[in-house]
Amino acid sequence: MPMINYVEFFSGCLGGVAGVLVGQPFDTVKVRLQTQSGTSLYRGVWHCLTSIVKNESPRGLFKGMSSPLLGLSFINAIVFGVQAQVITFLGRETTYTHFISGAFAGAVQCVICAPMELAKTQMQVQGIGKKAKKSDNMYKSSIDCIKKIYKSHGMKGCYKGMTLTLMRETPAFGCYFASYDILTSTVLLVDKTETYQLGTILKMMLSGGIAGILSWVITYPFDVLKSRLQADHFENSKYKGTIDCLKKGIEKEGPRLLYRGLNSTIIRAFPVNAATFAVVQVSTQYFYKKKNGYP
């Protein structure tokens, strides 16, 4: 059992790093599109992307990356480690047990995910339309952001958006692992004992990418509201809470608000989750082989 925890933990870390490096620019675009209101600054995904590069330099696309780079490696370790433990506890691998174990793992990692995404979002929306100058920014880094929020608003401030994070992550990770299992075991018939084969890796990447897209599509409205709440200023806040955020958003911008930025999220979800699952699976097999004495 300890070796299982170690393997899944370390493999999840590696998968998380791969996912962040691939997806951070798309995530910045997604957050910018989700949080703009009134007169739209960005007309769409491409316009947002090129505007950030033009006005803020390419570094603008990677604002707030330190938080997810540190956090997501740890989060992925929790997700894949807990999911594997729950599967072992349940005693069998079925689509149902993959959903239950994924949902449980998704809920557990929210303890880390919520403050991490708060810091990332606050970093991503500061200095919009300006060349990156650290002296002009309220927060110097994601860690500095969390420190200042904690100092001024306590632990409660650091968990702003926690309820919406739980509402997003719990069903999302259930869908994530269940759909990946269906795709690899039923549709593409992946041989998980031969993950070093190029054909197998490509199948795992395809399955991971599709699973990532599905998990986002079913929970996306929660993510929009979470981004709006977490991007809101702590002083002179526009929103009193989740319901107030939803009500004001719908009244001002209509139901389409809940799917703003979905295109960039789907574009990002495929490569990020393709990379994540492939790295996790290959790494897992490698460490299990080492454990059992195989080269």
Phi-psi region of 131 (alpha: psi -120 to 50; beta: other; left: phi over 0): beta
137 or 266, which is more confident: 266
pTM of the model: 0.82
Among 140-144, 192-196, 290-294, the least confident range: 290-294
Band of pLDDT at residue 234, cut at 50, 70 and 90: confident
Collapsing DSSP states into helix, strand and coil, what is residue 185?
helix
pLDDT in tens, 239-267: 888 999 999 999 988 998 899 889 888 98
Mean pLDDT of 37-64: 82
Mean pLDDT of 109-136: 79
Band of pLDDT at residue 211, cut at 50, 70 and 90: very high
Among 134-138, 149-153, 157-161, 246-250, the least confident range: 134-138
Mean pLDDT of 278-294: 79
Give the range of the structural domain holding residue 152, as residue numbers without chain letter. Answer: 2-291
Band of pLDDT at residue 63, cut at 50, 70 and 90: confident
Question: What integer pLDDT is reported at residue 177 of this predicted model?
Answer: 97
- Please state the domain count of the chain: 1
Q: Residues 7, 79: contact at Cβ < 8 Å?
A: no
Question: What integer pLDDT is reported at residue 136 of this predicted model?
Answer: 62
Among 38-42, 43-47, 86-90, 271-275, the least confident range: 38-42
Q: At what angle do helices 220-231 and 2-35 cross, to 10 degrees?
A: 70
| Average pLDDT value for the chain | 86
CA distance linking residue 63 with residue 17, whole number of Å: 16
148 or 34, which is more confident: 148
What is the token pair recorded at 137? 């920014």
What single-letter DSSP state applies at residue 186? I
Closest CA to 77 of 14, 16, 12: 12
Per cent of the chain over pLDDT 70 is 91
pLDDT of 68 > 80? The answer is: no
Question: What integer pLDDT is reported at residue 258 of this predicted model?
Answer: 93
- CATH number (domain holding residue 281): 1.50.40.10
Q: Residues 120, 172: contact at Cβ < 8 Å?
A: no
Question: What integer pLDDT is reported at residue 147 of this predicted model?
Answer: 93
Question: What integer pLDDT is reported at residue 30 of this predicted model?
Answer: 82
- 175 Cβ neighbours under 8 A, 6+ residues apart: 99, 102, 211, 214, 215, 218, 219
10 or 103, which is more confident: 103
Band of pLDDT at residue 41, cut at 50, 70 and 90: confident
CA distance linking residue 268 with residue 24, whole number of Å: 8
225 or 192, which is more confident: 225
Question: What integer pLDDT is reported at residue 2 of this predicted model?
Answer: 39
Mean pLDDT of 46-64: 85
Question: What integer pLDDT is reported at residue 293 of this predicted model?
Answer: 60
CA distance linking residue 275 with residue 20, whole number of Å: 10
